[in-house]
Structure 1
Amino acid sequence: MTDEFEVRRIAGRCYVKNASYFLVEWKGYSISDNTWECKGNLLGNSNLITNFLRAYRNENPGKAITRHETLLLKDTYDAKRPTGDEKPDSVHGTAKKSTRKANNKAKTTTTKPKKRSPARNESTSSVFDFDPSLSPLSSSESLDIDSSSEVSTSNEIMASNELVESARPKKKVRKMLPMVVPAGDSPVSERQTPNHIDAETERELALIRSSLKPSKLQSLRRRHGLIISPDGVMTFDKVYPPVSVVNDRDDTAFPESFVYIDRLIFHAAVPKPDSAFLSGCECIGRCRNVRGEPYCHEDNPYTNHGRLALTHSGAIYECNSACACSPRNCPNRVVQRGRKVELEIFKTAKKGWGVRAKTDIKKNTFVEEYLGEVITEEEGSIRGKVYDKIGLSYLFDMDLADGDDQKYVIDSYVFGNSSHFFNHSCRPNLIVYGVFYDSMDPSFHRLAFFSNQDILAGEELTFDYTGTNTADDTLSKKFPCHCGSDNCRNWIHI
């Protein structure tokens, strides 16, 4: 007979015989009943480890964390350390994967530990939550957004921590679900098309487009405007590696309203990042990683060639402006250095505009960052309702912070880069990761696309909008899928 125990939080980490162990505080028990569990016993509950590391950095600002250093949170109890000879599951059990990541909980099924007794005079109902107010956003180039827009004045609030109200696109069916659906595939029975938009909807869209001050909007348009090269190829000016535009299928013009950007821009309601709250490593030159030496940071996500490590999962934490290592040579700076592959936006047969590789791309290569205007959850709710009317949206959640901690959405309806045109596929060749390098706030992170297979030149770049291999008929909308893959689900359920 086995009992089930729930993890409250991870409060420590140590290494024994080159194996990592984590100090677990158990919900409903005193901290004197803490136990050390090997990493394998957590069975993929990496969000618990991530929260622990964030909390430790928050308690120790400016302290560099080395790989094999023992770490303990304040106000915890250091239980008897493991010897390294234990077998997984033999002492304390194995953590089950949480069915709702938003709870940040994990359970174990095991024989009841000795000494364990219900906690007294201690709150056991709460689960560890990182307080974003203790670690504001860090510095990053940004543009001011005009706060005079009527759209930005609404006080509408999200009604659910799991799914957003049905009045807007379902933007959290799975982690990092965007809504990028061609208007021609709208499920709305009386949808409006770009050629048949009523006056009220056009007014609402105009308000969204006018959120940026006219002078700065024109400056952005000039910075990376479309130009025609001597050989007749259209490319975005001052964008390298080049991003070209081609339509050899019909006479459809490239969207005039689209403004190419090379960095995030921030709405007036979104606080600007502040680098003063970053902590970094103290490495000189390259971070310690060469030829079998351990990295100076936890779970370095990249190989020495700058590709995603085969064993990496979860969020990516890169070195930042507070680190002493070289911005040019550190192997833990990939996304922040920008795109390194040449891309082409092209007109597809059934999916509107798409993007394809101009050169071969190796598996696990960083391809592109999702850029746009960073807006609040509330603003995203308002814009989503407007986009619903025309059957499209380019809203992408910054949703590594679950539930009430989620604050921001990236909207690339007006401002974006090539990722604005990435299409859906049921067999995608790209996967999205949350990346931290200019912020310690869990509600603010970058969205980066990596290749999940070798990609040939000329192959279209796609990702799965829903993040699942199965259709969910309980969701309110579905759109015809035209991906053409051999495992096509026929519908995009949202």
Structure 2
Amino acid sequence: MTLDIGTQHRDASVSGPSSDLSPSPPSSPGLVSTHAAAVSPAPARKPTTASNAASTSAILSWSDEKVKSCSSLRARKDLRRNLEVDVLQNIQKALRTSPNPFFNDPGAAAQEALRQAQIYKAWIQDQEGSSLEVAIVNDHPQGPADGCPPYDFVWVNGYVHDDTIPPSDPSELQGCDCEDDACNPATCKCFQKAVRFDTLNIYKESKQFAYNADGTLQDMMVPTYPIFECNSKCGCSSACTNRVVQKGRRVEIEFFKHQHYGWGVRARHRIKRHTFIGIYSGELVSDAEADRRAIVYEDVGSTYHFTIDPHPIKLETMRKRLASSPEGRTMTEEQLMQRVNDWTRLMDLYQAHREHKVTAKQLKEFNDRQIVEAKRKGEWSRRWQAELEAELAEWEARYREEPDNYLSLEPEDQARAEDLSLFYEDQQEANELTVDGALHGNFTRFFNHSCDPNLATWPVWIEEGSIWRPFFCFFALRNIEAGDELNFSYTSAEEVDDMVKRLNQIQVEQGTKPGTKRMKCLCGASNCRGFVFG
């Protein structure tokens, strides 16, 4: 998974109901807590970013037509859900920018802010098709429009996409033959699919599904490990242990506005470790399209890109290649996967070898787009990422000390490693997708960064037969107390530590400060590194 952190063309998301928006506030306004007693007249203000790092100056907002037109889905005027959000955006904008003497009265402004929070809550519950509680809190309101988060996006509960993304082959989705309410891992085909990608032998040794009976993840499930839930083609019922994410959000959340970094989400009640929180939903786009949009998003000051690249994609891609060969047709599934694991290790050595060969002269010949395409790690805004990756790659070439193990391979294995790597890169170019949560999304787009996160993601496959299209699902890393903010790390600790080490090294040895783009981190964790690379 990488973060640079659909409705189908037919206006239908992969999961979640669609219904009419209720324009009226709910009958129990006490369920929405908006602290707006000291609301001042609304000034014009810049849009907030979902990141809790200091953003660059924003030129555009997510409601600007130039930004919305990046997505052909969002730009369509015949989709009801687009029209609903446009109306709500216009109301919010009018409250923020249009002078109204009535709201000079703090009490009147506070009442309007509360009403806006109630409407936002009704909007969420309608879009989710759920009555599960949502609260909205703002201790630092800037006017009557500031009673709720901005309507920057169209709410979707899964993935959506337009006709530029081809639909998956329905025949790729396979179900299990289990007939009881609860599947048996010993015979369930969905479990056996998980075993196929069991590189750490977690499933083989535990002989258990990813979930406990209460729906939490088993203790052995490390972040990013693949999960294959039972689906609509399975014989088991909704009571099956292997059905969790598909049932939707089950924890109550609270939107709150921080005075420094904008809106975030926190727990309303205690959340048990390994509890499912939500899907990172959005619009599926090609990587080339994601790069194109990133240029526009730079003028907004934030981005919401998740590149879909979990390890099972590489394994399955190589398995299909081997299985279609004369040699592979005679192999058992276990023999296939053993050979594929050997292949992926060769590919990793070749990739490391190519990184060794990067030189400062070559890097100077690269432009931003070439670097983005060549090294898409997705942990930062793509344009900033390109600049950072160029610098780090140059430092890597100068200071990297570990041996190039690829050169120790036999010539035959070197040739195979190169051939396999180039084949997989071609497959990535043709099939790899990015989840854009900017213009379509849900509450997870408000999760902020923390150097000590309480959430992590796991790739989960449900009704999608294509290995290229898992959901990225947030689960609790530890017990989360009521009132704690929900957050995750935009960059892994290992990557940050490595970057900091190399940044410090280059500063000491060259006596200069690199021009790396980085944002001040405001997460407040005891182990905060002070900044987020951007």
TM-score of the pair, normalised by structure 2: 0.53
Out of 73, 98, 103, the residue aligned to residue 211 of structure 1 is 73
Distance 2:136 2:246 in 1: 25
Q: Matched residue of 1:433: which SS?
A: strand
Instruction: Give 2:51's aligned residue.
Output: 181
1:240-295 CA-partner distances (Å, limit 9, x unpaired): 223333322222633133322223221321122343321121111323349xx786
Instruction: Give 1:160's aligned residue.
Output: none
Alignment of 1:324 with 2:235, yes or no, is yes
Q: Matched residue of 2:299: which SS?
A: helix
State how 1:284-303 maps to structure 2 within 5 Å: 284-289=179-184, 297-298=191-192, 299=203, 300-303=209-212
Alignment of 1:490 with 2:530, yes or no, is yes
Aligned Cα RMSD in Å? 3.5
Out of 204, 217, 221, the residue aligned to residue 84 of structure 2 is 221
Greater RCO (CA < 8 Å, at least 6 residues apart): 2
Q: Matched residue of 2:290: which SS?
A: helix
Distance 1:244 1:310 in 2: 31
Out of 353, 374, 377, the residue aligned to residue 263 of structure 2 is 353
1:421-467 CA-partner distances (Å, limit 9, x unpaired): 00000000000111111223221110100001111111110000012
Instruction: Give 2:215's aligned residue.
Output: 306
Instruction: Give 2:324's aligned residue.
Output: none
Instruction: Give 1:255's aligned residue.
Output: 150
1:156-185 CA-partner distances (Å, limit 9, x unpaired): xxxxxxxxxxxxxxxxxxxxxxx9536852
Deviation larger for 464-473 or 358-367: 464-473
Alignment of 1:429 with 2:291, yes or no, is no
- Greater strand share, structure number: 1
Q: Matched residue of 2:70: which SS?
A: helix
Gaps of 5+ in 1: 1-46, 48-139, 147-178
Distance 1:268 1:479 in 2: 36
Q: Matched residue of 1:211: which SS?
A: helix
Distance 1:387 1:180 in 2: 13
Instruction: Give 1:449's aligned residue.
Output: 474
Out of 109, 120, 137, the residue aligned to residue 246 of structure 1 is 137
Distance 2:471 2:462 in 1: 8
> Residue type of the partner of 1:279?
Q
Distance 1:222 1:352 in 2: 20
Distance 1:237 1:361 in 2: 20
Distance 2:520 2:282 in 1: 26
CA 1:230 to 1:480, structure 2 compared with 1: closer, same or farther past 3 Å? Answer: closer
Distance 1:219 1:368 in 2: 23
> Residue type of the partner of 1:323?
C
CA 1:272 to 1:244, structure 2 compared with 1: closer, same or farther past 3 Å? Answer: farther
CA 1:367 to 1:225, structure 2 compared with 1: closer, same or farther past 3 Å? Answer: farther
CA 1:205 to 1:374, structure 2 compared with 1: closer, same or farther past 3 Å? Answer: same
- Decide whether the 8 Å contact of 1:368 with 1:419 is kept in 2: yes
- Decide whether the 8 Å contact of 1:370 with 1:416 is kept in 2: yes
Instruction: Give 2:317's aligned residue.
Output: none
State how 1:80-119 maps to structure 2 within 5 Å: none
State how 1:402-413 maps to structure 2 within 5 Å: 403=425, 404-405=427-428, 407-413=432-438
Alignment of 1:480 with 2:505, yes or no, is no
Alpha-carbon offset, residue 142 of structure 1: 3.5
Distance 2:86 2:267 in 1: 24
1:306-359 CA-partner distances (Å, limit 9, x unpaired): 111111231111111221111x11111111111111111110122211001112
TM-score of the pair, normalised by structure 1: 0.57
Distance 2:270 2:84 in 1: 30
Instruction: Give 1:367's aligned residue.
Output: 277
Instruction: Give 1:272's aligned residue.
Output: 167
> Residue type of the partner of 1:251?
Q
Alpha-carbon offset, residue 492 of structure 1: 0.8
Would you say how many aligned residue pairs link Structure 1 and Structure 2? 313
Gaps of 5+ in 2: 13-48, 90-111, 193-202, 204-208, 315-424, 504-515
Q: Matched residue of 1:492: which SS?
A: strand
- Decide whether the 8 Å contact of 1:412 with 1:420 is kept in 2: yes
> Residue type of the partner of 2:525?
S
> Residue type of the partner of 1:389?
D
Alpha-carbon offset, residue 228 of structure 1: 9.3
Instruction: Give 1:394's aligned residue.
Output: 304
Q: Matched residue of 1:356: which SS?
A: strand
Instruction: Give 1:283's aligned residue.
Output: 178
Alpha-carbon offset, residue 219 of structure 1: 5.6
Alpha-carbon offset, residue 383 of structure 1: 0.7
